[in-house]
Amino acid sequence: MSLEQLNAYCVSKLNELKKKGAQKGIEKVIVRIFVPDWVRQGRLPDAEEDKDSGPRYFLAGDENAYLLMNSNSYLGLSIHPHVIAAEEKAVEEFGTGPGAVRFISGTYAPHVELENKLAAFHQRESAMIYSAAYATVMGVLPPLINENTLVISDQLNHNSIINAIRLAHPAEKTIYMHLDMAELERILRIYTTNNPEGKKQQIKRILVVTDGIFSMRGDHAPLNEIVDLCREYEHHFADGIITIADDSHGVGAFGETGRGTEEYTHCQVDILIATLGKALGVNGGYVTASKSVIDYLRETSPFYIYSNPITPSEALAATKSLDILENSEGRERLKRLRTLTQRFEAGMTELGFETIPGDHPVTPLVVRDTQKTAQLIRHLHKNQVLATGLNYPVVPQGEEEIRFQINANHTTRDIDYTLAVLKNFNAAHYV
């Protein structure tokens, strides 16, 4: 009987989402991928191949071939033959799963090799992997937060950061307007003086946490300014100010060598969180920092201690992705990614659409209306383009958008085709 009441509650909430136009609805199921020869060969297209289509995706119950313009696999490594081969080899050697959590019997040589490589890649002492980037954020923040901690967060931080702060129950939390360094400094200054609430004495440590790349917009945090501000004020607090960035969308897609927002802004935060499941094309999340911090997290982070790691085969595949990123092929893929992104962004601007300019391959088309966003998504789908409409509450009301994401396996023809589809849409009515 109680389940019937719960069913009724769930249905009512679903109806509310549908009425607001915020329901995500039925998920599209990909059943097959068409992969061109140049992708199968692990290379980028030549001039003639660039005039043809890149990979195409087939959906359940649909004979059409779709262009995927909403994938986080920025470098195209999820279908790279060397990455696939590395995972297949590890499956043969280690099986399909770890079989246990790390401290029991779930740590395999590929896990250790990957952690060492990640630490070296980011020029840190140590690193540890989690089952997902979301789990990493949830697992890292709470052990660093206690009853004497103030957490300061960017207004548009990812849902994982918001929920990790809620889970941690800090002494206080405060939010600064998106990318507003003047407001961040104002908050820091307030807590170095006698503030009206009289709570200064209980704040011994501050955590300033931000996304590196803000995934809904493609803009980036000025990490260099954040670090400089924190260094200026840290001596006022017994346990200092710790800077943390989740650069899941930045690593592998941003910066000259793909080292993300830190590289782009020429600085290093205290603790860096990122993912293996976007530009690196595999699965899992990780954190990298000093050896002392990582050793502490291995002993205290429940999302690490009580959850299986990624599979050994995923770890070896991610290591291969890092190898590719660090060699000449990786630099070529990053260069191509920047070129295609610039082409698409310039094309949208020329068509009169609003976008948020930047060097990251997330290129949003800002619509600012939920229903109009849905109409444009339907138009794209009708023309075999898969893109993601982002509505409230995923984005604030009035900032509804379609998030396009460029990847290195797109061809020039793919970019121009998408722009042609947008051109045929009646932009004057919807943006």
Q: Which of 122, 173, 278, 320 is catalytic?
A: 278
204 a catalytic residue: no
Helix, strand or coil, per DSSP, at residue 52: coil
Name every residue whose Cβ is closer than 8 Å to that of residue 397 and which is 6 or more positions away in sequence: none
For residue 114 the two structure tokens come to 């990957």
Q: Are strands 385-386 and 65-68 parallel, antiparallel or unpaired?
A: parallel
Inter-CA distances, 396 with 180, 362, 368, 385, Å: 17, 18, 9, 25
Alpha helix locations (H) across 169-245? 181-190, 223-233
Q: Which of 131, 160, 215, 301 is catalytic?
A: 215
235 a catalytic residue: no
Distance between CA 342 and CA 360 in Å, rounded?
Answer: 9
Kindly state the DSSP code that residue 79 receives in the 8-state scheme: G
215 a catalytic residue: yes
Distance between CA 132 and CA 56 in Å, rounded?
Answer: 27
| DSSP characters over 219-238 | -B--HHHHHHHHHHHGGGST
Q: Which class for 198: exposed (0-12), middle (13-18), buried (19 or more C-beta within 10 A)? A: exposed
Distance between CA 298 and CA 158 in Å, rounded?
Answer: 24
Q: Which of 80, 111, 220, 249 is catalytic?
A: 249
- Say if CB 129 and CB 322 are below 8 A apart: no
Q: Give the full edge-to-edge strand order of the sheet including 30-34.
A: 30-34, 56-59, 65-68, 385-386
For residue 3 the two structure tokens come to 């389940």
- Say if CB 336 and CB 77 are below 8 A apart: no
Residues with catalytic roles: 215, 249, 278
